Amino acid sequence: MYENYGLFIDGQWRAARDKRVIAVIDPATEERIGVVPHAGPHLDEALRAAADAAGSWAATPGWERSKLLRRISDELRLRAEAAAEMMVRECGKPLAEAKGEFLAAIDQFDWYADEARRIFGHTLAGRDGGTKLTVQYRPVGPVAAFTAWNFPALLPARKIAAALAAGCTVVLKPSEETPSSAFVFADAARKAGLPDGVLNVVTGEPAEISRHLIASAVIRKVSLTGSVPVGKLIMKLCADGLKRLSLELGGHAPVLVFADADPVAAAKACATAKFRNNGQVCISPSRFYVHASIHAPFAAAMAESAKALRLGSGLDPQTTCGPMINARGRERVESLIADAVRHGATVLAGGARPSEFNRGFFYQPTVLDMVPEATRVMREEPFGPIAPIASFESFDEAIGRANATPFGLAGYVFSNSLSTANRAADALDVGMVGVNDMMLASAEIPFGGVKESGFGREGGQLGILDYLEARYVKMRHT
């Protein structure tokens, strides 16, 4: 598909003048499957297109924007099968997961097709009979959106759909490792009749593109999904121009399994969530605190579930766990496991590269038991197939350890006690909590974190607010 796409600017596909390209690698085979161009010489063209289209798109009635978003979702459904297969080749996740993700991305366009018609202001009574006070919402203006590789359809969709619904134009920079979904969105938008310049897609060197776009006076709002270090850098760049900013950054989600929970059922649910996308998920459960009274059966069931997963190419229907995205990520996982073992942790499952693969960035789903709190894997986001387990004795101990990191994206609780579940959910210092359920993300919920996991929300009724400015008007009747 890369042969058909280049840069999408002002409603047209363009070949890059810069002959430099970035290779896209299949992580299951380490083979090059395509290239994407460097947008450097074209960034001002993308900015100009977004600026030129901003006024007319902002003035387009919400009902009309709604119709266009719905048509985009219809076009995306026609492309879902092929897009999911290409996603697998780029990031390695099993085909079933890729299909589910692409459908979830379409849900974002469906949801915001409705929200485009519901941008409500409000009116207040004046302090005297001759005045009326009105609060209106207006689009913030052109948006620079940056997304990560691990959910190449869902992450861009959250930003594009909300921004378009609000009346903002967009310059999107997808991950150069997994760009094809963004190309599909652009093509679907063009076919659906989205006006030229409203959505633009550029690829290339992340640092070059982010610095150029954020420095431009055209860009009024920046949205990033990425790591904490990258988020801090983007925030510094935004400070010079006082840009509006929303950040969805890394997490290190604690899981609290209380004594009244079913340890085997909880372990199976945790394994399913932990090893989805090979643990390369920002809300992946990544620290498992289990009450000492049920610790042993939980750990045994978790290890058994990990061993039952089948590694392989995501295009193989028998595969339940694909490769990691690159060698760098795999090497980091190996270093975290080695550090935990040096500190006394026990490997219950995995812990090595699988011998049956001589190519691809595969690593065995790994369960570690009795992991000390001082290990790196309990302090740093692992972003890989590692499940570290520790035990606790009291409620306060569990909450204290769960909240001890600078992250605050998601947390999970397993308990059959309504009182315990409510207390734990209230006490966790995170943006999202799952109680006896680990599938948090959906179009209708506000997705986002606190502390160093970022700020702002994507999805749900709140998601559109990050792309709107409130304006107050006081009118005196004469």
What is the crossing angle of helices 180-192 and 62-91, to 10°? 150
Cβ-contact 202, 209 below 8 angstroms: yes
Q: Among residues 248, 381, 452, 458, which one is catalytic? A: 248
Enter the DSSP assignment of 461: H
Q: What phi and psi, each to the nearest 5 degrees, are found at residue 37?
A: -85, 160
Whole-number Cα distances in Å, 97 to 151, 278, 319, 409: 10, 11, 11, 22
Buried b (16+ CB within 10 A) or exposed e, 142-167: bbbbbbbbbbbbbbbbbbbbbbbbbb
Q: Is 270 a catalytic residue?
A: no
Contacts of 95 (CB under 8 A, 6+ apart): 84, 85, 88, 314, 315, 317, 319
C-alpha 105/C-alpha 317 separation (Å) is 22
Looking at the DSSP bridge assignments, the partners of residue 366 are 386
First to last CA, the chain: 63
Structure tokens at 255: 């899981």
Q: Is 248 a catalytic residue?
A: yes
Q: Among residues 282, 321, 381, 458, which one is catalytic? A: 282
Cβ-contact 135, 310 below 8 angstroms: no
The set of catalytic residues is: 248, 282
